[in-house]
Structure 1
Amino acid sequence: MFGRPTDIDCDLWRTDGALLIENAISSDELAGLREAFSRCAEQAKPDWLSGVRAGTRPAAFFDLPDPMGLDDRFLEIVDHPSFYGHLMAFSEGQVIFLSPQFRTVPAAPLSYVGWHYDVHRESTPLHMIGADLSG
C-alpha cells in the first residue's frame, strides 16, 4: 500500500514545489542502486568514449543507454511505496513516466552543455540545480 501525503506535506508541496521524504529508501536499497548504476555505467563507458572520439556523443555528460532495461532495481524505484502515493496525489493521478534518464556529469563547477531542449536557453534547468544534502 502506498502512503498518502499529510496536510502538511501538501502545504509544503504547494508552497515550495518540493518535499523532502526522509528515509524514503533504505541504506541497502541505496547501496544496491549505486552498485547497479556503477556496474551499468562501467559496461557502457567504452561505447560512450568511442562516440566522444567520433564526435557523435557529447563529452560533457554520459547517459546510461536504456537504463530501465539494465537492472530490475531501477524499475523497482519507479513506484516505490515510500513516495508513489505522494506522486499520485500531487499529480492528481496523472503520472506519466517518460524518457527515463540516468546521467552522470564530471565533477566540475560547470559540467553541462548549458541548455536543455525544453527550457529557454537563457535559463538554468531546474533539474540541474543541485543541493548537497550530505551534511
Structure 2
Amino acid sequence: MALSTFRFSPARPVARASAGVMLIGPLAMAGCSAIGGDKPEQNTEAQQPKDGLLPGEPVQGVKGTELPVDTLPAPVGLGDSETRCPYLDGEWLQTTTGQRWTATGLDGRFDPPACVFWSYEDVPQAQVMVR
C-alpha cells in the first residue's frame, strides 16, 4: 500500500518553524509594546452604553429587570402538573437529577418565566431561570 512507502521526517520542518518563531516572537513583542506606549486608552464612546441605560437600570418591557440580580424564583406551582416549562423538559430533569418530577410551576415575574420543578418534598427539586 501507499502507507508502506511513506517516509515521515518531522525534524526538519519543526526545526525551521521553531527557529522562525524564536526570531519573530521577540520582535513582535517589542513592536507591540512600542505601539501602545505607557498611556492607557481613553475611549469615551466605549464607556457610554449604546442604549442609554446605566448598568443595573431596569429595561422597559422586560420582566425581571427591576428585581435584584440574586432574586430566586418564587416557589409556585406545588401540585400543578399541567404547567410546562417553555425551555426545559421535566423528563430530562428527572433523568439528570435522579428524582421523580411531580409538578412544575412558572414564576411570571421573569421574562422568560422561571420554572420551578417539584418532587415529593415540600421544597422545589430545581429552580431554573434564564436572565
| Length-normalised TM-score, structure 1 | 0.20
Between Structure 1 and Structure 2, the one with more helix by share is: 1
Question: Which structure ranks higher in relative contact order (CA pairs < 8 Å, sequence separation ≥ 6)?
Answer: 1
Between Structure 1 and Structure 2, the one with more strand by share is: 2
**Radius of gyration: which is bigger?**
2
